Chain A
Amino acid sequence: MEPAEVEFLAEKELVTIAAQFSLDRIHLIGGDLGPFNPGLPVEVPVWLAINLKQRQKCRLIPPEWMDVGKLEEIRDQERKEDTFTPMPSPYYMELTKLLLNYASDNIPRADEIRTLVKDTWDTRMAKLRLSADSFVRQQEVHAKVDNLTLMEINTTRTFLTQALDHMYKLRTNLQPGESSHSQDF
């Protein structure tokens, strides 16, 4: 899975915007949206929010968790715990990136938010690598990893699975070799 695909999935998430135009309810395959009243908050998918924002047709109202205080708490919690903590949104990274790229003027303290989310992300990635490492090192057959988001799984999936395959091959190759070796004796 490409990161772009994950981002595409993330665009289905709903965010609140304050429309700057008037439009009746619109009926889409994915469901009805609207009605749009100027100045009133309405929930729309991210892709629409970004599109409207780019056309200056709306103001974004940042999601509740996109707040410096809350993110600091999350980051600290993430650093404190050894396991993964639940994230405020399953697409927190994608949403942060999308919304901050396109609507940073509507998000107070956008730069700090970017840093905080990046910090959290880094912490989690480090944990992920660490757990992958211990998983391989201890030659476990299964591991339980909760609270991972799709994007996070995506970063490690290809590499980890392939690596495990390789290692498996190596190991299986090694063993018959050994056994044959012993037979030789």
Chain B
Amino acid sequence: IPATILPFPTKHTIKKENKYFCYYFYCGTFLEQIICPNIWDIRAICLSVQQKCVLTNKFYAGFCCQNGRLITAVSNNTVQIHTFPEGAPDGILTRFTMHVNHVTFSRDGTKVAAGSSDFMIKVVEVTDSSKQKTFRGHDAPVLSLSFDPKDIYLASASCDGSVRVWDIADQTCTTSWLLLQKCNDVINAKSICRLAWQPGTGKLLAVPVDKIVELFRRETWDSQFKLSDASITQPLNVVAWSPCGQFLAAGSVDGNIVVWNVETQQCIERMKHEKKYSICGLAWHPKYKQIAYTDTEGNLGLLENIGDAEKPNDKVASAVAKDYNDLFDGDDDDYLNGDAIEPPSSPKTADNEDDADDVVQPLGHVRRAVIDDDDNSLDIGLIKASSSLLEKEDDADDGVGGLSALPPTSTQQPFYDGPMPTPKQKPFQSGSTPVHLMHRFMVWNSVGIIRCYNDEQDNAIDIEFHDTSVHHATHLPNSLSHTMADLSTEAILLACESTEELASKLHCIHFGSWDANKEWTVDMPKDEEIEAICLGQGWAACATNALLVRVFTVGGVQKEIFSLPGPVVSMAGHGEQLMIVYHRGTGFDGDQCLGVQLMELGRKKKQILHGDPLPLTRRSYLVWVGFSAEGTPCYVDSEGIVRMLNRGLGNTWIPVCNTREHCKGKYDHYWVVGIHENPQQLRCIPCKGARFPPTLPRPAVAILSFKLPYCQVTTEKGQMEEQYWRSVVFHNHMDYLSKNGYEFDENAKNLAVKEQQELLMKLFALSCKLEREFRCVELADLMTQNVVNLAIKYASRSRRLNLAQRLSEMAVEKASELAAAQGDEEEEEDFRSRSSARYSSSATEWGRLPGRNVQQEQEMEDAEETDAYEEAEETPEIEQRMKWIHIPACVSSSQKDPVVPSANVLDTMSKYSKKTSSSSSRAVNKQNPPVIKPLTPKPKTKQVMFAVFLTWFQGGKNKKLNFTTKVTAQENTENRRPKTGFQMWLEENRANILTDNPDLNEAEVIKEGMSRFRMLTSEERMVWTEKARGGRVNDSAEDKKRKRPTAEEDEVKKNQEQKSEDTNVSKKSKPLDQSTNNRLSAFAFKQS
């Protein structure tokens, strides 16, 4: 029987369920295991150059074997002998200076011919490698070789475009044709041009020449005839004679296989490779009408019933191309364990080779060929992980996902090229490493670690608690070979799959029990397999392949049982909450289609998520499901995106972290073990070059921070927005906890609110600075009442009148909403009476204002604005502004009774600001006098705010009053001028002005009045100021306060005096503060 040549890709695996194909090929720089896949009862198989590998230039090999010897040509330019089928190295046959492109045995197996890229051909005796013959003549790398069946001639094809026939005995070139396209290297050759002699007599030599096969007659060496077919559109790569010499098969680079009857020169068979991969090897069955073929993607296919009269029942079970297994078992060593996803149509019959239905079912792992230059191999998982990555990349290119359409396809049938269904991911336990590992983590969560050892000496489970006070470390024998585990602070839950004798079992070690019996076991019904388990507080649950979820108490009482809509993927428990992720349907193109149920198993049993779709990154799968330590459901997908349930937005999922962003290398991953919301920590284990960590050396936990994927986080705005929303999202759990009657840290909540409001205030300030007033209002909408007041203050200080007005409108609305909410509780109490009672002092001041004309007021303001602007420009950075914004709050609240609920924010804020600002502001005071000014007018501003409420409730003049509010607010904050004094003065002197200049309009009257007022001496002005204030306040502090504004009035004219005055001010402000505080605390007292 002649050697049948079946070129394979150089490194790959062939796996078949039945006994004929459970062999692996590895070839490359190493050759680990060679066992011949005994496809038929032939003794020899030959693997030769594979184009893809030539391209990578890494694993580059020719392969052939006969008579118990296997010849390989590997990338170190040698031709090696191996024993067959063991694959043990048996010496080097010959060497070249370049890659060997093709090796082939002579018919009797005594000689080997090898053609290399160094233009040489050698023929070597297998038994004695010193007897070699060299054939020189080609001017380019040799592509292919073929021994004449009579061992007289050797045919060769080369990149120089020539096909030569050599006389083996005298090493001369018998003839030469220039047939092929010239190229400079094998890589660039369009076709590898595998030529073949007719078996038996060797009468004809078939050479694939572009799209035709040319046949040359022996001895005369003239072209006998040509075979072609319309279906061939691409160059032919390889030709193969049937053993009888009657038929000739040819394979093309685009995946066509054509068979001709050489006698009649008729095409009897056409077949198209469904994925159009280039055919690089063809071999006929020695007895039957079958052709085996390989393609450059490493698939092995079988073509049957060649040339039968009836429509060929062609079971091309080629190409479970890049199987998507790896997608799921980045952790699962499928090609060693054989749990690959079987194509549905492939018969698993273990029939002998005569069975016509026997289907060769290879798995394409060609791409793995690229990966083993990784030097940091930790374990197989590493290779797997990276290989799956590689595969994914490739998939992204060609868009082919998952299983190929495998319903039996005949040659004529069109191929399905729509979206490919993704194989469903298998159930897993969160925080576990793959089951097939000898040493693995069964679970690593925030409670502890369960490790499983399953090697020759030991089959045991090690349980270790992070907190030794929970329970001491435990070592259990694993006689039932548990594969799933979960751990909580009160129990250990284990589960095993069923064996032939034993049912699937759930085993619980309830170490928290106070009685002596700490363990219980439950058998599942027959044929029901546990697929996922989890523990909550006081309960345990398992999901089975019967689509059932069974709930037990932690003591072993069977409780609820319910059906799942689809096969479970994973489940997690926390407190009363149970989260189950399952397959809702079939995903396509690499996506998974998962659903999630979230239920509460407490007293009020209810379902919160009713099988909603679980959002995953495209082409990813789930790798971790669990709860944060605070009880918010979270999950992680294979792309490293951590998502968390946002209960504040209708139970939607928000991505909170991308662990891949933190990875240094492409193949590094983070293996999540726990999520904490307060403090915000993502606990995970960095895995270098793998998806999961090894058990030894013991991995260390790293902490990642969360980051919401907001836009433009490099800018200050984006950063603060991200911080704000992150803070909001990560404190949602507090609302949930309080709603469900759990205890939680009130303090932490206040801190969170404070943090959020501070961020809003900063954003507000930033928007102000950027002149984005609309945005300011939007931000203010998010603020709490107290902070809105601060914002109003800020706005008015930075002279944004329009903004301040809108904000005060908003504040009023907010207050009314608040009031409405309160009013529901205490209807009988009239808001106005309350507020007026509280803010009587402000009301008195306010009472004078309505009589004024808004226009006038405005004009007056304009006149005064100039120097005020100077002040405003002097005020430094936002930061500093923020500081002094806090100061009034600090002053007011520090004295306030802490029971005042509304003071909370101010309280906390001031605590913060005290530290940061009060000390520094003092320093600032001296160098930058304007900054201190806001210290004192604070109570006034407050009054203004309260007055706003009042006026709103007075109705009617509403709008106008608001406007004046704004103006006064501005006055108060910007100019420490004796406005009330001026007002009074103006009222009294208006008549005088009008008599002097009767033609003045209102605005001009004000202007005139102002200039006149300024001409008054400071004493006179003080009198007026006193008048204005005298009725209201009598205490000494107010006296001083009165003094101060007048002093500052002078400042306008006498800049020289400013310094001394300012020092006065800072001195005086102390007693003033105290008195103010007294008043404020009195306020607070009234309020409460």
Point out residues on A near B: beta carbons under 8 Å: 16, 18, 20-22, 38-41, 56-57, 59, 61, 106, 108
Contacts and interface: CB of A to CB of B under 8 A. Distances in A.
A118 B696 CA distance: 26
Given A39-B448, A57-B468, 16 more contacts: A18-B466, A18-B701, A20-B465, A21-B467, A21-B468, A38-B465, A38-B466, A39-B446, A39-B466, A39-B467, A39-B683, A40-B703, A41-B701, A59-B698, A106-B698, A108-B696
B468 A56 contact: yes
Interface string B692-703: 000011101111
B337 interface: no
A22 B696 CA distance: 25
Nearest to B629: A37
A20 B697 contact: no
A40 B683 contact: yes
B264 interface: no
Contacts of A39: 446, 448, 466-467, 683, 701
B451 to A, nearest CB: 14
Interface of B: 446, 448, 465-469, 683, 696-698, 700-703
Contacts, number: 35
User: Which residue among A16, A18, A39, A56 has the maximum number of chain B CB atoms within 10 Å of its CB?
Assistant: A39
29 contacts: A18-B466, A18-B700, A18-B701, A20-B465, A20-B466, A20-B467, A21-B467, A21-B468, A21-B469, A22-B469, A38-B465, A38-B466, A38-B467, A39-B448, A39-B466, A39-B467, A39-B701, A40-B683, A40-B701, A40-B703, A41-B700, A41-B701, A41-B702, A56-B468, A57-B468, A61-B700, A106-B698, A108-B696, A108-B697
A166 to B, nearest CB: 52
A98 B37 CA distance: 59
A105 B467 CA distance: 18
Query: Which 4 residue pairs spanning A and B have beta carbons closest together?
Result: A39-B466, A38-B466, A38-B467, A20-B468
B708 to A, nearest CB: 23
Contacts of A59: 698
Nearest to B449: A39
Contacts of B465: 20, 38
A20 B468 CA distance: 6
User: Which residue among B467, B683, B697 has the maximum number of chain A CB atoms within 10 Å of its CB?
Assistant: B467
Contacts of A61: 700
Nearest to B681: A40
Contacts of B683: 39-40
A20 B467 CA distance: 4
A40 B469 CA distance: 15
A22 B467 contact: yes
A100 B469 CA distance: 26
Contacts of B698: 59, 106
Contacts of B466: 18, 20, 38-39
Contacts of A106: 698
Nearest to A57: B468
A61 B699 CA distance: 9
A43 to B, nearest CB: 13
Contacts of A41: 700-702
A48 B467 CA distance: 18
A40 B704 CA distance: 12
Nearest to B676: A37
A51 to B, nearest CB: 15
Contacts of A22: 467, 469
A50 to B, nearest CB: 17
A16 B703 CA distance: 14
A159 to B, nearest CB: 41
A59 B449 CA distance: 14
Contacts of A20: 465-468
B664 to A, nearest CB: 15
Contacts of A108: 696-697
A106 B698 CA distance: 9
A39 B443 CA distance: 14
A22 B446 CA distance: 12
A82 B949 CA distance: 83
A59 to B, nearest CB: 8
A40 B701 CA distance: 6
Contacts of B703: 40
A108 to B, nearest CB: 5
User: Which residue among B448, B468, B683, B702 has the maximum number of chain A CB atoms within 10 Å of its CB?
Assistant: B468
A61 B700 CA distance: 8
A27 to B, nearest CB: 17
A21 B470 CA distance: 9
A41 B696 CA distance: 17
Contacts of B702: 41
A39 B683 CA distance: 10
B1040 to A, nearest CB: 43
Nearest to A58: B468
User: Which residue among B446, B700, B703 has the maximum number of chain A CB atoms within 10 Å of its CB?
Assistant: B700
Nearest to A55: B468
User: Which residue among A18, A38, A57, A106 has the maximum number of chain B CB atoms within 10 Å of its CB?
Assistant: A38
Contacts of B701: 18, 39-41
Nearest to A35: B679
A141 to B, nearest CB: 50
A137 to B, nearest CB: 48
A20 B701 CA distance: 13
Nearest to B446: A39
A74 B446 CA distance: 38
Contacts of B696: 108
A41 B701 CA distance: 7
A56 B698 CA distance: 17
Nearest to A40: B701
A40 B683 CA distance: 8
A18 B699 CA distance: 11
Contacts of A57: 468
A57 B472 CA distance: 11
Nearest to B445: A39
B685 to A, nearest CB: 11
Nearest to B468: A20
A39 B697 CA distance: 16
A18 B449 CA distance: 13
A61 B701 CA distance: 10
Contacts of B697: 108
A56 B468 CA distance: 8
Nearest to A20: B468
B1019 to A, nearest CB: 58
Contacts of B467: 20-22, 38-39
A40 B702 CA distance: 8
User: Which residue among A16, A40, A57 has the maximum number of chain B CB atoms within 10 Å of its CB?
Assistant: A40
A62 to B, nearest CB: 9
Contacts of B468: 20-21, 56-57
A61 B702 CA distance: 12
Nearest to B444: A39
Contacts of A38: 465-467
A78 B476 CA distance: 47
Nearest to B472: A56
Nearest to B700: A61
